[in-house]
Amino acid sequence: MRIGGLTPLTTIDFPGRLAAVVFCQGCPWRCGYCHNTELLDAGAPTAHTWAGVERLLHARRGLLDGVVFSGGEPTLQAALPDALARVRALGFATGLHTAGMYPERLAALLPLLDWVGLDIKAPLLRYDAITRTPGSGAKAWESLRHVLVSGVAYECRTTWNTGLYGEDDLLALAGALAAEGVRHWALQECRTQGAPAWAAPRRIAQHWPGTLTVRRA
């Protein structure tokens, strides 16, 4: 694994678990709002090794329950299945944050996972402008279907503001997610401090057929 960062303990990145976060190096997409740009270059030098991750896990046995792989894009790396199997063999639950860019790889990984946080960034028509990558939306939505049929616990995640796409598109996204069978959705609104609240998230919350978490950043 190429590991760009390691957080020894998080209470917020793997629901219900005290977890370590392994930040995987490399992502081929180029979202304008990416918060981890230092992790995008797959060939950049890294400060961590898989042996170091295992040392941490041995030292934290009994204190941690899980390990979540984040990024960057973890499914970029061919070593991820072995890493997940190794984490489980050490007695920890496995979690994954992914943008769903490799649906077949994700489908193969699902039996090794206890939880998936899947970014669904936009309705299909708006996707490629956000990721600056042609065909990205079709990949992400295909990944969503794999997650839903797998029965693995999941959360769909969307970062949104009206600079990305409008409220009508957000309402359309909510309808499309609900129609696919999504019941666990986290909507992260990026609104400047003091700006008036948008109406669409409130309208969605009134009708959403499952768990909706609206976070403000």
Query: Within 168-207, which residues bind ligand SF4 (CB under 6 A)?
Result: none
Structure tokens at 91: 């007695």
**Beta strand residue intervals within the chain, DSSP E:** 3-10, 19-24, 66-70, 93-98, 115-119, 153-160, 184-189, 211-216
Out of 67, 73, 87, 173, the residue judged to bind ligand SF4 by CB under 6 A: 73
Over the window 39 to 68, marking each residue x when it contacts ligand SF4 by CB under 6 A and - when it does not, the resulting string is -x----------------------------
Distances from the Cα of 180 to the Cα of 130, 141, 176, 186, angstroms: 21, 9, 6, 16
Distance CA 146, CA 44 (A): 31
Over the window 118 to 147, marking each residue x when it contacts ligand SF4 by CB under 6 A and - when it does not, the resulting string is -------------x----------------
Angle between helices 199-207 and 167-180 in degrees, nearest 10: 20
Structure tokens at 125: 């028509």
| Interface with ligand SF4: number of residues (CB under 6 A) | 12
28 versus 203: smaller Cβ distance to ligand SF4 = 28
34 versus 148: smaller Cβ distance to ligand SF4 = 34
| Smallest distance from ligand SF4 to CB 32, Å | 9
Find all residues with CB under 8 Å of 148, minimum gap 6, and list them. Answer: 154, 180, 181, 182
Structure tokens at 3: 């590991």
Does 103 bind ligand SF4 (CB under 6 A)? Our answer is no
| Smallest distance from ligand SF4 to CB 78, Å | 18
Q: Which parts of this chain interact with ligand SF4 (CB under 6 A)?
A: 27, 29-31, 34, 36, 40, 71-73, 99, 131
